[in-house]
Structure 1
Amino acid sequence: MYSKTPLAKSPKGSVSVESFQGRLRLRLPRQLYSGTQKRIAIGLADTPENRIEAERKARTIELDILTDNFDPTLKKYQPKTHLTVIESVKQKQEPSITELWAKYCEVKKPTCAPGTWKSGYLIMTKHLNRCPVEKSLDQSAAIYDWAIANLTPDTARRLIMYLKSCCTWAVRHTLISHNPFENMEPIKVKKYSNEDRDVNPFTKEERDLIIEGFKSNLYYKHYAPFVKFLFYTGCRPSEAIALQWKHVSNSKILFEQSVVNSVDGLVLKKGLKTQDKREFPIGQQLRLLLEEIRPENGSLESLVFPSPKGGWIDVHNFRNRAWKAVIDSLGIEYRKPYQTRHTFISQQKALGVEDSQIARACGTSINMIHKHYAGIVQQIQFHDM
């Protein structure tokens, strides 16, 4: 392979030749697209002979720019494939990336979680459709360049990752001969914490203040049992929202479904985030709460924690309205409702409950508890001293 950078620094406004993963491409002046960097994949390997051809193409584009004949759609400069038919032997035409993606989505949709379908496959479809690059397999490098130039680093990384998985599937099913995204350089992004790793629990005093804050709030007291339940069980909000009375016995609660956001709004999903189901023991504190809110002669199919209108609680609306209003009124540092889970786990660990018991009851792993809660518990114990 030859140099990954142009052989010499190009004058301002010129078209330069560069190498990417062993393939040549042309870098256009930023001035042509209001500061946005554009590149053209020319479909040639990085060899001395092809460098000469690439330089010739670069000079042709520069001439078009000078004479006002430049084609901003870049179609004029895309490599043209010439097919030669020899008697009865016909070259098999491989499907486009768009066609492969459509087939891949059809296969994935029946077994895909609603949230993943909405925030993953549908979002990537929109990005792929608005990419102006020709969607042939030999234009994968140009799609990569477009993603980096036009999407956030994380979204660009996800798009290329999805397309790589799509083409791996296509190779496995002999739809294409090779995966053009296989050896592309990973797109680096900053690591952001997710809800399971962003551990910043409330203190016991803050927990009690929040519960009382909901009880006494004129507009949001309906949610007080829901909030108390989250603090008392450490379950995920989506699991509590999906809970029905048929899941509650005298001695335990069965978590086996959750309510998630999908293309069609809120939907009920069988199974949990990391497991099919789990049981949670009912202690005295939790029993009193459930007895207090259980309706007389109610249906076992009824929700344990319905919204004010009787349906599922929309956790996003709850967080942005009720939760935020109560937290702000108490002067407590704002943290998301998911921190109720971290609060329960941290407090149980501080009380000396075995990590294996906590992990089993909360649907997490012992490793996660060791990694994300040990330091927090030490801070709690030090503070108590």
Structure 2
Amino acid sequence: MHGDARQMLVAGGADVVDAELVDEGVAGAELAVVGRDRHLSPETVAAIAESVAASTRRAYGADRAAFASWCAAEGRTAVPASGETMAEWVRHLTVTPRQRTKAPAGPSTIERAMSAVTSWHEEQGHPKPTMRGARAVLNAYKDRLAEAKAAAAQPKQAAAALPAQIRAMLAGADRTTLSGKRNAALVLVGFATAARVSELVALELDTVVETDHGYDVTVYRKKVRKHTVNAILYGTDPATCPVRALRAYLDALATAGRTEGPLFVRVDRWDRLAPPMTRGGRTVGDPAGRMTAEAAAEVIGRLAVAAGLSGDWSGHSLRRGFATAARAAGHDPLEIARAGGWVDGSRVLARYMDDVDRVKNSPLVGIGL
């Protein structure tokens, strides 16, 4: 059987290697080394997966499972995939309605799925598949959507929570209650630090330090793997002053007996610190009562809806609002990026600031029309 090639799948789907079957001797020993060199243990695969945000892992997991299922149905190899397989799969995504929306996936969703599959190859020790054909298919799809004036042609963005919107959101909140104080602090600290909701709920009480200027809040930015120390300053309007809101919330927590642990915690319907959640007699979630990122995002959405604000409100609304408002106030893009933990050259941040710059820096300004 010398000269025949056979594909070997490592148990658990951790890796796929190409191996040549040989008779015996040194060649067999070399084969063992090659196979071992291309192997990733389940623990290492898990460690690689943990390098990305939980929400991204969930999305990538769903994308990879869907790709593997499609490949199985089509008789194609998922990993390593050929450029032809990638092109066919992307075309499939552009024409196949999804169960939830009854329409094909939008370009941004397909971009994410492509990234999920190409990064999957890297995690398994394979080079990325050739994406030239897949990219051409996606570009043609974008053109068709734009020509049809389809809503999917425009990137979906969270509504920006600017100071005026934040005032409206907090105007109807009962800030005499523990939950109301928590929600006000969550919104205003989230805006002042430009934190992702996952970063916001990860804050601990000991990461908040009172200073002469207000507070310093240390945020771990997982996307750039750095801590930023964000200065929380007094606002000109007491109703939207992040320092006053945070102090009121911290005082309420201390009164309730909470002086350590997570900063943003669950509050029950009776306006008390919620006890640990259990399911089947076992504790689920954070035993200290930490809010989840989903719960924090729901707070922002509920406040926006109660204020009668239109648009797509999510946990990212505070982050987008910070970038837009800071740029409108004339702050340097580099300082905005550093304060909010955006990666250098972030296209997302550039898109947020374009809301301001396309008018403020328009070539039409000052040309005498």
Normalising by the residue count of structure 2, what TM-score does the alignment of the two structures yield? 0.57
Unmatched 5+ stretches in structure 2? 18-38, 97-103, 143-152, 235-240, 269-273, 275-288, 362-369
* Inter-CA distance 105–217: structure 2 relative to 1 (3 Å threshold): farther
Q: Is the 8 A contact 1:210 1:330 kept in 2?
A: yes
The answer to whether the 8 A contact 1:160-1:181 is kept is no
Distance 1:192 1:307, change over 3 A: farther
The Cα shift of 1:330 comes to 2.2
Distance 1:323 1:277 in 2: 24
Letter of the aligned partner of 2:4 in structure 1? Q
Unaligned runs of 5+ in 1: 1-84, 173-178, 257-270
Report if aligned partners of 1:244, 1:300 keep a CA contact under 8 Å in 2: no
Give the CA deviation at 1:111. 2.0
The equivalent position to 2:197 in structure 1, one of 237, 249, 266, is: 237
What's the CA shift for 1:135? 4.7
Matching residue of 1:262: none
Aligned to 2:248: 292
Q: How many residues align?
A: 271
Distance in 1 of aligned mates of 2:176 and 2:55: 32
1:206 to 154, 162, 165: 165
Amino acid at match of 1:193: P
SS at match of 1:304: coil
1:52 aligned partner: none
RMSD (Å) for aligned C-alpha atoms? 4.3
For residues 155-194 of structure 1, the aligned pairs below 5 Å read 181-182=129-130, 185-186=133-134, 187-188=137-138, 190=142, 193=155
Which of 1 and 2 has higher RCO (CA within 8 Å, sep 6+)? Answer: 2
Task: Pick from 190, 202, 217 the counterpart of residue 253 of structure 1.
Answer: 217
Contact 1:231 1:343 in 2 (8 A): yes
Counterpart selection for 1:125 from 62, 65, 76: 65
Deviation digits for residues 220-265 of structure 1 (CA, Å, limit 9, x no counterpart): 6352221222233322222111111111112311112xxxxxxxxx
Q: Report the secondary structure of 1:296's partner residue.
A: helix
Letter in 1 for 2:353: Y
Q: Distance in 1 between matches of 2:322 and 2:90?
A: 41
SS in 2 for 1:249: strand
Among 304, 307, 320, the residue aligned to 1:330? 307
Shift in CA distance, 121/276, structure 1 to aligned 2, threshold 3 Å? same
Superposition deviation, residue 163 in structure 1: 5.1
Give the conservation status (yes or no) of the 8 Å contact 1:254–1:277: yes
Q: Which amino acid in the other structure matches residue 94 of structure 1? A: Q
CA drift of 1:185 comes to 1.2
In the aligned structure 1, how far is the partner of 2:161 from the partner of 2:230? 22
Cα shift readout 1:313-347 (whole Å, capped 9, x = no counterpart): 23434545x44443233222233232222222332
Residue in structure 1 matching 2:184, options 224, 239, 249 = 224
Deviation (angstroms), 1:208: 0.8
Look up the match of 2:29: none
Asked whether the equivalents of residues 7 and 16 of structure 2 are also in contact (C-alpha less than 8 Å), the reply is: no
Q: CA, structure 1 residues 101+307, in 2 after alignment: closer, same or farther (shift >3 Å)? A: farther
Match of 1:22 in 2: none
Partner residue in 2 for 1:281 = 231
CA distance in 1, matches of 2:114, 2:190: 38
More divergent stretch after superposition (223-232 vs 213-222): 213-222
| Structure 2 residue aligned with 1:175 | none
Q: Kindly tell me: are residues 234 and 158 of structure 1, through their superposed partners in 2, closer, same or farther at Cα, counting changes over 3 Å?
A: closer
Separation in 1 of the partners of 2:358 and 2:118?
A: 43
Q: Distance in 1 between matches of 2:357 and 2:128?
A: 48
Where 1:306 maps in the other structure, the secondary structure is: coil
Check the 8 A contact 2:87/2:133 in 1, yes or no.
no
Identity %: 13
How far apart are 1:378 and its partner, in Å? 7.3
Which of 349, 352, 355 is the equivalent residue of 1:372?
A: 352
- For residue 209 of structure 1, give the secondary structure of its aligned residue in structure 2: helix
Other-structure match for 2:46: 109
TM-score relative to the length of structure 1:
0.55
- 1:280 and 1:225 mapped to 2: Cα distance? 15
CA distance in 1, matches of 2:128, 2:60: 21
Shift of 1:351: 2.9
The letter for the 1-side match of 2:73 is P
